[in-house]
């Protein structure tokens, strides 16, 4: 049930209800197809140059008195959003 609550907060109740109905009506294969289609509509993967910039930054100490990078600091310095994405 924790997964359903997480999905409800993350994607919204309407989408979750739709996914549950789709899986119940058509089975797992169509459910996977629907999730794949939704993934295609999401933001495109990060270009490899952007990923390289993030890695290069992470290998250097952050500016100022900070001793360690946080995800937010690294994303801001690299000019990207702090979200999980696939690498192109």
pLDDT at 4 (0 to 100): 53
pLDDT single digits (tens) 21-63: 777 777 777 767 777 776 666 666 778 888 899 899 999 999 8
Q: Where are the domains of the chain?
A: 2-41, 44-88
- Written as six digits, the tokens of 50 are 């952007």
Half-sphere exposure in the Cβ direction for 66 (13 Å, CA): 11
pTM: 0.47
Q: Between the CA of residue 46 and those of 15, 53, 77, what are the distances in Å? A: 25, 11, 15
pLDDT single digits (tens) 57-73: 999 999 889 899 988 89
């Amino acid at each position: 049930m924790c997964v359903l609550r997480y999905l409800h907060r993350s994607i919204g109740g309407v989408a979750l209800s739709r996914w549950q109905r789709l899986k119940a009506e058509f089975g797992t294969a169509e459910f996977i197809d629907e999730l794949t289609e939704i993934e295609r509509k999401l933001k495109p993967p990060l270009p490899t140059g952007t990923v390289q910039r993030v890695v290069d930054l992470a290998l250097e100490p952050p500016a100022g008195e900070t001793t360690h990078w946080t995800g937010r600091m690294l994303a801001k310095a690299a000019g990207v959003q702090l979200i999980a994405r696939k690498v192109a």
